[in-house]
Amino acid sequence: MNVTRYVPLVVKQVCRHRVRTGLTVSGIAIAMFLFTTIQAMQRGVREATMETAADTTLVVYRKDRFCPLTSRLPRDYASRIGRIEGVVSVMPVKVVLSNCRTSLDVVIFRGVPKDDFLRDRHGAIEIVAGSLDDWRRRSDAALIGETLAKRRGLRPGMMFDAAGITTYVAGILRSDNPQDQNVAYAELEFVQLAARSGLGVVTQFNLRVADPSFLEPVAEQIDDMFRTAQEPTATFTEKAFVGRLAGDALELVSFARWLGLGCLVAMMALIANAIVLSVQGRIAEHAVLQTVGYTSRLIAALITAEAMLMALVGGGLGATAAVVVARVGSFALSVEGQSIPITAGVETLAGGMLMCAVLGVAAGLVPAVQASRRPIAECFRAV
Amino acid sequence: MNLIECRNLTREYHKADTVIRPLDGVDLDVERGEFLALMGPSGSGKTTLLNLIAGIDAPTAGTIVVDGVDITRLSRNRLAAWRSVHVGYVFQLYNLIPVLTAFENVELPLLLQKLSRRERRARTGNALEAVGIADRADHFPRQLSGGQEQRVAIARAIVTDPTIIVADEPTGDLDRPAADDIMNLLTRLNEESHRTILLVTHDPQTAGHADRVIRLDKGRFVSDRRPESVAEAPA
């Protein structure tokens, strides 16, 4: 059977029942907007916290501290850490935040030794605007993560003032690492001075090990080394570190999963309601179709296709709006100096559309089958 | 040769403990090209008989053979396929699909057949032409008068060139001039195209267009006459 000849019939039924379709599609779009936004948050969490086999980065933090304002470690720990077997590089980092709370617009400054930073990130970052030479030359220069730059409208050559630090925007950087996308990198000493925290004090050390198998033994050795020091350390893999600091935010995002499921249930109920009402109002119409020779299966397929089309149109609108908002807004959920970007792309959109198609079919199937199995003569008697 | 042969046709409905029998063991033969009218009071079983012959209802007992096929033995899906080829149904209340234009309504039965889009459009145009409504092809049912809607419904019934056309009180919702127009159209289809037509009506004047009129009462035939005498008899 060539089903394509029935497609115009389904499209006409959806397009020409304007009020029903308009209301249903609007409701689906709103539900899908929420669902896709939650998906984008969850995707950001996954990207920020899920470890992969290739991860080789450790973060050394002050033990029992969570906020960068209270994690204070002597910079000279770096030389002792660097001597441990398996450690490839150690980079002291001074973190300064515009605020420590959970927020969608936190500015994070990271003070780093410029040469160490460029060596560490070689090949992992791309300067999409501005000049790396400018950043090297000027002591007050900052490389701004692409997400932060978009959100704050920053361009190379501008002065940027946040968290009590005024910097010159030397370049915009792009990176696959979520923690690079929402920060401003500046010279370590410049940030230390601007933050009035003392030149010898840093917030953390980021270090690379030669191989993922070194992660655990190196972390243990570092924490053992400073166990009795005045400033003991706690060492984590980078993503575990993000997960630890962003625990509260992660709980919220996990809870949001239920909201997402609620959106899907609401969407399904909305489609089912529209189809049930439509089927009840079109008893004679379906009886006529049966009379002229349409089989029960074909009528059920037509009704289900209507449900799926409405779901796809509404879902497509809602999901596209969510992706556009996430991209244009460049939001990142920041907590304790760690960024969880809200990332939505083609995969999020495609996943949302697939979900819409499945829900449309699921919501339309039962009323469609019921409508198609009703005896014709009974239908005509009922109207 | 008979096109339709019904034997011992019975239809029962069960309502609570009551058995309702709108059709009670009737026999009927209809010749090919015949124009037959079924008359009788409400509840006499005429629409039930029409629906059984059209294959949209199933008898409790008895057989219906149309063009050599016992349709009571067909499965639900095969019966649907049979209807799409052999039956054109005209309803009292037209039953056009409101969101489709006249053209699209008439085209509906053709979607089931293996025809190209061009063939479908040609046949739909011819059917609309045949009922004199081609100039309203792009109109939606709400933009048509009752008589025009019924013409579209007749076009939908004849577009597949069915073996039989069944019409259940096709003029019941129309004023006299519109009703006469519709009956003249059906008569022309019967005379010029030799289509077999089965018509249910309360109206003796409408029945006067038929070759043969059968009166029913309480599920049984009470007369089987020529129309001249029907027009004089009380309804």
Nearest to A284 among B95, B104, B111 (CB): B95
Q: Please report where in the chains the tokens 């469609």 appear, as a residue.
A: A368
State the pLDDT at residue B233. 47
* CB < 8 Å to A303, chain B: none
pLDDT tens-digit readout, B136-193:
999 999 999 999 999 999 999 999 999 999 999 999 888 888 899 899 999 998 998 8
Q: Are A357 and A351 in contact (CB under 8 A)?
A: no
At A141, is the secondary structure helix, strand, or coil?
A: strand
Helix, strand, coil shares of chain B, percent, nearest 5, are 40, 30, 30
Backbone angles phi and psi of A126, in degrees to 5: -135, 135
The residue in chain A having the minimum alpha-carbon distance to the alpha carbon of residue B84 is: A293
pLDDT tops 50 at residue B234: no
Q: From CA A56, how far away is CA A88, in angstroms rounded?
A: 10
Q: From CA B44, how far away is CA B214, in angstroms rounded?
A: 12
- Which among A312, A302, A317 has a CA at the least distance from the CA of A354? A312
Chain A and chain B share a number of CB contacts under 8 A equal to: 62
- B220/chain A closest Cα distance in angstroms: 20
At B52, is the secondary structure helix, strand, or coil?
A: helix
* CB < 8 Å to A375, chain B: 57
Nearest to B112 among A294, A375, A377 (CB): A294
The residue in chain B having the minimum alpha-carbon distance to the alpha carbon of residue A285 is: B97
In chain A, DSSP finds a helix count (H) and a strand count (E) of: 15, 14
pLDDT tens digit at each of 383 positions of chain A: 677 889 999 999 999 999 999 999 999 999 999 999 988 888 888 777 776 656 888 999 999 888 888 888 998 899 999 999 999 889 899 888 877 666 777 788 889 998 888 888 788 888 999 988 889 899 899 999 988 898 888 999 999 888 788 999 999 999 877 778 888 999 998 988 887 777 788 999 988 898 888 888 999 999 999 999 889 999 998 878 877 766 777 777 788 889 989 999 999 999 999 999 999 889 989 999 999 999 999 999 999 999 999 999 999 999 999 999 888 877 777 777 677 778 788 888 898 899 999 999 999 999 999 888 888 888 887 76
State the pLDDT at residue B228. 60
Nearest to B76 among A9, A289, A296 (CB): A296
Q: Please report where in the chains the tokens 């005379």 appear, as a residue.
A: B191
The residue in chain B having the minimum alpha-carbon distance to the alpha carbon of residue A292 is: B84
pLDDT tops 70 at residue B231: no
Q: From CA A124, how far away is CA A297, in angstroms rounded?
A: 56
B104 touches chain A (CB under 8 A): yes
State the pLDDT at residue B45. 93
Mutate which: B76, B87, B116, B150, vs A, most A CBs within 10 A: B76
B109 touches chain A (CB under 8 A): yes
Residue A193 tokens, joined:
């001075």
Please, which contacts does A131-136 make with residues 24 or more away whose CB atoms are closer than 8 Å?
A: A131/A156, A131/A170, A131/A171, A132/A170, A132/A171, A134/A168, A134/A170, A134/A171, A135/A170, A135/A171
Q: Do A16 and B99 touch (CB under 8 A)?
A: yes
- Which among A40, A168, A165, A61 has a CA at the least distance from the CA of A104? A40
State the pLDDT at residue B61. 96
B143 touches chain A (CB under 8 A): no
* Segments making up each domain of chain A, as ranges: 3-48+248-382, 64-231
State the pLDDT at residue A53. 57
* CB < 8 Å to B51, chain A: 376-377
What average pLDDT does the segment B44-57 reach? 94
Q: From CA A324, how far away is CA A274, in angstroms rounded?
A: 28
B95 touches chain A (CB under 8 A): yes
- Which among B150, B128, B126 has a CA at the least distance from the CA of B199? B150
- Which among A23, A24, A60 has a CA at the least distance from the CA of A236? A60
Q: From CA A314, how far away is CA A235, in angstroms rounded?
A: 47
Q: From CA B110, how far away is CA B154, in angstroms rounded?
A: 14
Q: From CA A341, how far away is CA A181, in angstroms rounded?
A: 8
Q: From CA B108, how far away is CA B110, in angstroms rounded?
A: 5
Compute, in degrees rounded to 10, the torsion defined by CA atoms A219, A220, A221, A225: 100
State the average pLDDT for chain B: 91
* CB < 8 Å to A299, chain B: none
Mutate which: A292, A299, A376, vs B, most B CBs within 10 A: A292
Q: Do B51 and A377 touch (CB under 8 A)?
A: yes
Q: From CA A192, how far away is CA A316, in angstroms rounded?
A: 48
CA atoms within 13 A on the CB side of B93: 9
Backbone angles phi and psi of A257, in degrees to 5: -60, -40
Backbone angles phi and psi of B139, in degrees to 5: -85, 145
Q: From CA A77, how far away is CA A202, in angstroms rounded?
A: 10
Q: Do B109 and A293 touch (CB under 8 A)?
A: yes
What average pLDDT does the segment B9-20 reach? 89
Backbone angles phi and psi of B115, in degrees to 5: -125, 150
Cα angle: B69, vertex B73, B75; to 5 degrees: 110
Q: Do A289 and B57 touch (CB under 8 A)?
A: no
State the pLDDT at residue B193. 85
What average pLDDT does the segment B47-51 reach? 94
Q: Do B109 and A376 touch (CB under 8 A)?
A: no
Q: Do A292 and B83 touch (CB under 8 A)?
A: yes
Residue A368 tokens, joined:
């469609």
* CB < 8 Å to B81, chain A: 293, 295
Query: B45-60 burial string, b = 16+ CB within 10 Å, else e?
Result: bbbbbbbbbbbbbbbe
Q: From CA B58, how far away is CA B13, in angstroms rounded?
A: 11
Nearest to A293 among B80, B91, B97 (CB): B80
* CB < 8 Å to B87, chain A: 291
State the pLDDT at residue B154. 94
- A295/chain B closest Cα distance in angstroms: 6
Mutate which: A11, A288, A297, vs B, most B CBs within 10 A: A288
Nearest to B99 among A6, A12, A287 (CB): A12
* CB < 8 Å to A291, chain B: 54, 56, 83, 87, 89
State the pLDDT at residue A1. 63
Q: Do A288 and B85 touch (CB under 8 A)?
A: no
pLDDT tens-digit readout, B64-98:
999 999 999 999 999 999 999 999 999 988 999 99
Q: Which CATH class is domain B2-232?
A: alpha beta
> Could you say which DSSP state residue A13 is in?
H
Q: Do B76 and A376 touch (CB under 8 A)?
A: no
Q: Do B89 and A17 touch (CB under 8 A)?
A: no
- Which among B61, B58, B50, B73 has a CA at the least distance from the CA of B4? B50
Q: From CA B199, how far away is CA B206, in angstroms rounded?
A: 9
Compute, in degrees rounded to 10, the torsion defined by CA atoms A176, A182, A188, A194: 170
- Which among A240, A205, A375 has a CA at the least distance from the CA of B51? A375
Can you give the three-state secondary structure of A49-116, one letter per residue?
HCCCCCCCEEEEEECCCCCCCCCCEECCHHHHHHCCCCEEEEEEEEEEECCCCCECCCCEEEEECHHH
Q: Do A290 and B80 touch (CB under 8 A)?
A: yes
Q: Do B80 and A296 touch (CB under 8 A)?
A: yes
Q: From CA B89, how far away is CA B94, in angstroms rounded?
A: 10
Tell me the sheet residues that pair with B198.
B36, B166
Q: Do B84 and A293 touch (CB under 8 A)?
A: yes
Q: From CA A373, how far away is CA A29, in angstroms rounded?
A: 31
